Structures are given as structure tokens and as C-alpha cells.
Amino acid sequence: MQFLTFIGFTALVAIIAYLKTRKETVSSDGYFLGGRSLTAGVIAGSLLLTNLSTEQIVGLNGSAYESGLSVMVWETLAAIAMVITAIFLLPKYLKGGLTTVPGFLAKRFDVTTKTLTSGLFLSGYVIVLLPVILYSGSLAISGMFNVPELLGVTHKQSIWICVWGIGIIGSIYAVFGGLKAVAISDSINAIGLLIGGILIPIFGLMMIGEDGSIMDGLSVLITENPEKFKSMGSATDPVPFYTIFTGMILVQLFYWGTNQQIIQRALGAKNLKEGQKGLLLASFIKILGPIIVVLPGLIAFHLFQGNLESADSAYPELVRKVLPEAWVGFFAAVLFGAILSSFNSVLNSSVTLFGIDIYKQHINKDADEKTVVKYGKMFGIVLAIAAMFIAPLIANAGSLFDYLQEINGIYSIPILTIIVVGYLTKRVPAIAAKIGLVSGCLLYIISQFFMQPYFINSALENAKTAGITDTAQLALIEAQAYPHFLDIMAILFLSNIAIMLLIGKCYPRKEAYVQEYTKQVDITSWKYTKLVGIAICVIVVGVYVYFA
């Protein structure tokens, strides 16, 4: 019964997406941006589900299981970043008629800068993001259906099977359907994911509470685990409170404002009003995010008494424990849709970056739109296969969510830096952007993969030599031995900006950059954008203060 429900719902979504998009993937705009026809509801649903996949649901709940409520900042601050994007960045993107974010960099700086940025995006996607999505999704599906026992295989073999199953189906969606197929399937799955995602903590609280009382369950959860309900992270937590004001806001701005995988949904808007409304609707719903991606981790900690072998197994194990058997197939299908969403969204963005920014620009400048789409699809297939081989190899990377965020810093901050400088200045030259990209990547790699291990290992060896064996003390010493990776991001962001501005001062462009209006879509702003944006920011601050 579970498998019938799972297969039935998954097939239904695929059929609807196919029927809605079979005639809309011929042109470049049709394939990459859904024909610039996306409305607010579709944009919001696609944004949420692209973000809300298993690397979020499994990874962030795993972090909450380990560290408590403080990790909710990944959700709450996202709403503010989306508001900033809607008010400041999206109007500039749509005014320029952009298909890709690096496309702006070609106009503002030069083609080489655009190509370097596209290469960074693609490297990050294939080496980090796609494998993490595949692995976390496989972990969830394998855990919910108990695949090792079902198929008589080992846990490692079950992960390989799930990785390739998800990868192949996701590739079909993204490579052969284009953005609109992705966006429509996202919107359908988003409804199911929100319903199912909210039901998991409800059933969990009912299991904890006396006579199935949700409020009693919440009271017991808070009373018996007070250490888990502190929203202001300490120095040893994954997100210390002060980092909200350093690198955290930068990470959120990159993700929601400049990351091709995400912003491509808004670039496909039929006009600026729809794009802004879609972003703001998604940001409002995002405020409810901790209910789905943090609270279940806390419930799992209480129910399993912190005895699970892996924190990242907290969510799949909780689903199996609290969800009525009749619902498992439906929720697995919805979760499978969320996994596919993130996978095929990243893959679609990769195809877009390659087709527009690399193939058309450097390989075949005379290619027509059908040829660009064709070779983009071929590249997407190669990328998907590479990610499927890499995914099972990250099993020992520690916390999935923390691993993803730290590794992403290699390319996220350099790219954010040159986009910010590009829009806020008029005479900083192309050489400054290239230096900013290269120096930002290299300095972050040196910092996190060479200097950080050296300083931490030295500090721990000195502590043990001094006779310190207490786990809590050692954790504090480790946290204080080297700056948090979010602080490093903030330092490098400011350093890169200073370097670029200095170069701009010494070697300015001959002519000031002026952005042209391509008139591809109407860029009249929605009149309530700022008012709604302010209201969302106030709600976010209020929620955070309340839990603090």
C-alpha cells in the first residue's frame, strides 16, 4: 500500500508537469526561464521547494537534534534576505533582461569574468551541492522504507541504489522538461510537503503529550529539554549568535539574491510585480520554516533520548516512528518530490549556465536556440552522472548541513562580492573582479583547509598536555582556537571589496557603466513591496526575540 501511494502520487505530478510543458521547451527562454511567464504563486512554490529539500529537512533537523533551537537562524534570516532581493536586486536583474546572473557580469565587467563565475557555480554544484542533495535524499528514502531490509542489502549499497534512482528520475525532469516542468512539479509538491512537513511535528508532539495533546506535548518537550530551547547560539554551537551580524547575512544574500539555482525562478517572472510578489510570499511562508526543519529534530532528541547513531538520521527515524503507516507512502512521495526539486533545479541551472554562458559564448557563437538547448541537455546528463558517482563518497563528511554551508563559502562570497561592487559602483574595472574572484577563493581555501586544522589541532594538543580532558572544555577550546567560518566569510567579503575599490581608484574604467533597459518584461514595481517587506522583517525580528 505504501509503495502504491508513493508511485501513484509521483506519477501524477510527472504527468501534470509533462502535459503543461510539452510545447514550451523549444526556445532558449522557454527552456531556461519558462518563457518568462511564471506568476507569483508558481515562483513562491518553486523557491520554497527548491530550498526545502532533504539537505534542509534532514540536515537542519540533524543540527537541531545536536545543538537545539539556535540553528533556526538559517530559516528566519532567509526571509529578510528575500525581502532585500525583491526590493533591490530583482528590479536590476529584470531591467537587464538577464537569463543568468553571470550574464550581468559580462556587461558590467567582461566575458572572462562571466565565464569564471559560471565555472565557479558549476564546480560548486557538481562537487558539493548535487552530491549532498542526492546523499541526503537517499538517506531519507532508505531510512523511511528501510531499504536495506527490504532489498536484503547493506546500508552502503542501499544508498548507492537510492542515489542512482533519484538521480536518473531527477535528470529526466530537469534535462528534458526545462524550468517550467521543474517549477510546476515544485508547486504541486510544495503543497504536499508543507502539509506533510507540518504533520510530522504534530504527530510527534501528540506522541509526547498525555492523551495525544499537542500543547501538552510541547510543554513536556520544553520543560524536559530546556537546554535545547535557546535561540541564541553559544560559541560551541553551529551558529554562534554574533555570526548573524557577520557572515550569516552574507550567506543568505548570496543564496537568495545571487545564486543561479534560486534566483532563476524570479528571473522567469512575467513581470517585476509577479516576481516581487512571489519572493515576498515565499519569504512570509519561510517564517514557518522552523516548524518543519527544526522542531522535528528537537522532538527526535526527546523521543530517542539523544541515542541515535547519527544526528542526520533523526528525521527519517522520527517519520517512521510517529507517522501512521497509511501516510508513509504519501509523505515519502512528497519528500521524494522535494529531493527531485532541489536536484533538478540545480541541474537545470547548471544546464542554463553551460548553454548560455559557455557553449554559446565560447564554443559555438553562431548556434541557434535549439542547438544551445540540445548541448545544454547533453552537458546536464554528464553533470548528473558525475554527481551520482560522487554522492555516496560524502557519507563521512559529518553534519551534512554544516558541511554544505562551509564548503559553499569557497565560491559564494567571491561571487557575492563582485556582484555587489558591480551594481554599487560604475568605474571599478574588470581586472578588479577577476582578482576578487581568484583571491576570494584561494584565501578561503587556505583559511579553512590549511590554517584552521593547524590552529585547532595545536590548541587541542596543548590542552591535553595541560591535562584538560573534559569534553565541554575541549569543545570550547576548539571553538575559540580559530574564527568561525561565517566570520572568515565576513572578513574576506570586506577585504575583497577593499581590494576592488582600491584597484578601481587606481585604474578606473574609461567610461562609467550604465545599465540598459532591455524591455523584455515590464519592470513596474508592485506598490506594496516595501510595506510588505517591512512587515515581514518586523515579524522575523519578533519571532526571534520571542524565542530568545
Q: Where are the domains of the chain?
A: 2-12+39-396+405-547
Reply yes or no on whether the pLDDT at 525 is more than 70: yes
- Determine the Cα–Cα distance for residues 238 and 246; give it in Å rounded to an integer: 14
- Residues 310-338 pLDDT 10s: 788 888 889 888 888 777 777 777 777 77
Reply yes or no on whether the pLDDT at 231 is more than 90: no
Measured in whole angstroms, the distance separating CA 267 from the mean position of its chain's CA atoms is 17
Confidence at residue 288, expressed as pLDDT on a 0 to 100 scale: 82
* Cα angle 320-325-326, degrees, rounded to a multiple of 5: 140
DSSP 266: H
* Cα angle 307-313-314, degrees, rounded to a multiple of 5: 65
DSSP string, 475-497: HHHHHHHS--HHHHHHHHHHHHH
Mean local confidence (pLDDT), 177-193: 63
- State what percent of residues in the chain have pLDDT above 70: 88
Reply yes or no on whether the pLDDT at 290 is more than 70: yes
Written as nine digits, the cell of 386 is: 558525475
Q: Are the C-beta atoms of residues 217 and 206 closer than 8 Å to each other?
A: yes
Measured in whole angstroms, the distance separating CA 240 from the mean position of its chain's CA atoms is 20
DSSP 79: H
Reply yes or no on whether the pLDDT at 460 is more than 50: yes
Confidence at residue 350, expressed as pLDDT on a 0 to 100 scale: 78
Confidence at residue 203, expressed as pLDDT on a 0 to 100 scale: 93
- Determine the Cα–Cα distance for residues 74 and 251; give it in Å rounded to an integer: 9
Confidence at residue 151, expressed as pLDDT on a 0 to 100 scale: 82
Assigned fold of 2-12+39-396+405-547: Sodium/glucose cotransporter (1.20.1730)
- State what percent of residues in the chain have pLDDT above 90: 28
**Mean per-residue pLDDT over the chain, rounded:** 83
The counts of H helices and E strands in the chain are 26, 0
Mean local confidence (pLDDT), 518-529: 85
Reply yes or no on whether the pLDDT at 3 is more than 70: no
Mean local confidence (pLDDT), 477-493: 91
Confidence at residue 23, expressed as pLDDT on a 0 to 100 scale: 54
Measured in whole angstroms, the distance separating CA 108 from the mean position of its chain's CA atoms is 26
- Determine the Cα–Cα distance for residues 337 and 463; give it in Å rounded to an integer: 48
Considering only residues 148 and 446, tell me which one the structure prediction assigns the higher pLDDT.
446
- Residues 114-150 pLDDT 10s: 888 888 888 888 888 888 888 888 888 887 777 888 7
Considering only residues 393 and 424, tell me which one the structure prediction assigns the higher pLDDT.
424
**pLDDT grade for 32, boundaries at 50, 70 and 90:** very low
C-alpha closest to that of 59 among 409, 543, 405 = 405
Considering only residues 68 and 172, tell me which one the structure prediction assigns the higher pLDDT.
68
Reply yes or no on whether the pLDDT at 28 is more than 60: no
Considering only residues 259 and 430, tell me which one the structure prediction assigns the higher pLDDT.
430
**pLDDT grade for 440, boundaries at 50, 70 and 90:** very high
